[in-house]
Chain A
Amino acid sequence: MIAIVDCNSFYCSCERLFRPDLENKPVVVLSNNDGCIISRSDEAKALGVGMAGPYFKAKPIIEANNVAVFSSNYNLYGDLSWRVMETLRIMFSQNNVEVYSVDEAFINLDIIPLEQIEDVALQIKNTVEQWTGIKVSVGIAATKVLAKVANRLSKKNKAITNCIMVLNTKEKVDAALKQTSIDAVWGIGFSYAEKLLKYNINTAYDLSKKDITWAKKHLGGVIGIRLIQELKGIRSIQMKDELLNKKMIMTTRMFGAAVTDIKSIKEAVATYASRAAEKLRRQSCAAKTISVFLVAKQESHNASFNRGTTINTYTTLPVATSLTHQLIKPAIELVERLFEQGMVYKKAGVMLSDIVLDTSIQGNLFLSETKNKTRFLMDVMDNINFSQRGDVLKFAASGTTRNWKMQQNFHSPKYTSRWDDLCVVK
């Protein structure tokens, strides 16, 4: 059997951990720059606060009901996510846990005898909650897709399910599939759901009754076949190993306020390039291609939540590099190419691709001494910045005033990573 463990309203749960006064109270967490609502507690959902909606639209409900609002504190969420995953790894060994996202993990339970599965489900839920303070839902079934179905239903009626659903009999699987509309199945997007609806497939159950030949003929492609197999309880999506090296590194932020001058954009892009280079060095890699993109604000009154037009361009470097200054320079040149006087910008980003392993630290035989020294300089810089927890050392190109910095007006303390931010008790 496969389990999926999913943290309930994860970001809100994190904010509540050190704030028992918010237990059973409505809580929302905002995206970077305090733009949209990205996490809601059950109480906030019940008030009708929409998901992924802009904050200003929900503001009347939020203020009328005294909803607690937080800017995203990724520092805290990252630490608590590690704790949840580590607890699962201690319980089931590293090889059986696949971290799927910041708040979800698949667990391979093949070693657990079937008659013990329900006890194990309860044990997972209780242990994670006891150790980390984060509440989770557990869905268990024969395949990943079915486990996702179980998990989704376990959250629907928490009082009855206790946030646990185990699909260990055919009857339970069928009942669960009948309650799952086709667009709620893991891996089925909006347009794919539309397509299936045309074939009169309304629920996951309908799809599970189709056979492979039908899928080959009408759906084509491997995705449809895999989905049907998974719904029938035949494993077609395997457990994946940890993704050690990312193939693409992206750093992008909204500006705190609209930006019109090229100097601020250059500073912002230099800052994002430095951040991306740091991520690159953390996975011991170097990149050959750097892309920069700018997003313009659109000319209407509530424009800031429309997508806006994105313009981007890229440069391929002569050699792959992970040195910050070698990435800032082309990034700034790209900004000069993209920037148009008179435009109003709301967002910028840097993307590094063509990523290769950086062997320059070991293979120093073939590199000139100066190049190794700069690599060494980067290491020193990273070590200082990581040990001091912040950008203590940075390139002057990334600016000192940083007027474009994003807004985070409701940021909670970094309870788990800063001595000065520890939760105070009396």
Chain B
Amino acid sequence: MNQETLYQSAYNGTKGFTQQDVKTANATGFGAAADDFMERGIDLNEMLIRNKPATYFFRMNSNAMESSGIFSGDVLVVDRSIKATNNAIIVAAVNGELFVRRYNQSFKKAVLSADNKRFRDIVIDEFSQFQCWGIVTYVIHQLH
């Protein structure tokens, strides 16, 4: 728990993990052999949350990004600590509204484009209020 390292950029999953959390069978008969090889089970937090204090969840409510696999009703994992690069899917605050779009910055302007032809590009010029809220790192989509 006591990390002395400075500026450690991120850690995965649940920080409060201890060796006691590793499950063992504790069988009354045979069981010791398997217990020797037990390790930490799969924890979704490890994969989905790269940097816990900077990770937030959102709910998608449009089909603007369907071709990228983001459907209406999906949960978005958004990491604020990553810098927006071209082609990243971001949560953007434009003139007071939050959008999920693909980000592309060129010489004089930035364009937020949807992956769906029915949506018009949002062009960020010097008159728009724009802020990159965070980068979408994962989508959680329910199938069944």
Contact = CB atoms under 8 A, between A and B. Distances in A.
Interface of A: 18, 20-23, 82-84, 86-87, 90-95, 111, 130-133, 415-416, 419, 422-426
Contacts of A82: 53
A295 B28 CA distance: 59
Given A21-B97, A93-B3, A93-B4, A422 B75 contact: yes
B8 A425 contact: no
16 contacts: A18-B98, A20-B131, A86-B52, A90-B3, A90-B53, A92-B6, A93-B4, A94-B1, A94-B3, A415-B56, A422-B59, A422-B75, A423-B98, A425-B58, A426-B62, A426-B97
A425 B100 contact: yes
Contact of A21 (B7, B53, B57, B96): B96
Interface of B: 1-8, 10-11, 51-54, 56-62, 64, 75-76, 80-81, 91, 93, 96-100, 129, 131, 133
A425 B96 contact: no
Given A83-B53, A95-B2, A426 B75 contact: no
B3 A422 contact: no
Contacts of B51: 131
A425 B54 CA distance: 18
Given A20-B93, A86-B52, A131-B81, A426 B5 contact: no
A390 B60 CA distance: 26
A146 B54 CA distance: 30
B2 A425 contact: no
Given A20-B98, A94-B3, A83 B54 contact: yes
A23 B129 contact: yes
B59 A424 contact: yes
B61 A424 contact: yes
A131 B98 contact: no
Contact of B96 (A20, A111, A133): A20
A23 B130 CA distance: 11
A422 B91 CA distance: 14
A23 B96 contact: yes
